[in-house]
Chains A and B, each alone.
Chain A
């Protein structure tokens, strides 16, 4: 079965600084890869996704992520964070024989704190 690791439980970044959130997955082939953001008391919003093709994908709110097959990683980046980016970020993997009906496997999340 696939698994997702987000090694950083908390990350603190100053406003305006760059950001990188790490995500590693375990799966025999290339899975479908996603990043979601959850603001306090809110649902999950899809930031970006990778299915195939260009390994650098652009998402909403100025986020991008890079798929690196050799490292089984899909790290999320943003060049300059804003206070409104403070939230919980989840990396997720879609994989398995059932297709999309299998559901997503999520990492445990990274809590992003923005310092003024």
Chain B
């Protein structure tokens, strides 16, 4: 009965590869987010989706593309991975009106 789940938990891949991270929420929320946590643990919003519509895209390279097949899922696809993409990626969901958000367990991406 996990509220926000992500797969995989760990992802190790080589530079230049394409990878995807999946996120699902069963909270009935209408807004989902992707955040990036860097090696210094700083968290920054990447994308926000509200009812399957992209709301915000904060200076993220276009190699990153979020896709939301329905309002319970928000996947993150990354093309041509670079060393600097190594980070922990968190999915979150919320009601969208109050900023209150619930986070998934994170996906640790390591690019070698």
List residues of A whose CB falls within 8 A of some B CB.
32, 34, 36, 38, 42-46, 49, 51, 88, 90, 94-95, 98-106, 108-109
Contacts and interface: CB of A to CB of B under 8 A. Distances in A.
Contact of B50 (A44, A46, A101): A101
A44 B90 contact: yes
B39 interface: no
Secondary structure class of chain B's binding surface, majority of residues: strand
B45 A103 contact: yes
A42 B55 CA distance: 27
A88 B88 CA distance: 15
A19 B92 CA distance: 28
Nearest to A88: B41
A31 to B, nearest CB: 8
Interface of B: 4, 31, 33, 35, 40-45, 48, 50, 55-56, 58, 90, 92, 94-106
B56 A101 contact: yes
Contacts, number: 76
Nearest to A31: B99
Contact of B56 (A43, A51, A102, A109): A102
Given A99-B97, A103-B56, A43 B41 contact: no
Contact of B42 (A36, A44, A103, A108): A108
A100 B97 contact: yes
Given A101-B56, A103-B35, A43 B95 contact: no
Given A44-B90, A108-B40, A108-B41, A102 B100 contact: no
A43 B35 contact: no
Interface centre among B40, B43, B92, B97 (most CB of A within 10 A): B43
Given A38-B41, A43-B105, A102-B48, 17 more contacts: A32-B100, A43-B104, A45-B103, A46-B100, A46-B101, A98-B56, A99-B96, A99-B99, A100-B96, A100-B100, A101-B48, A101-B50, A103-B45, A104-B101, A106-B44, A108-B41, A109-B41
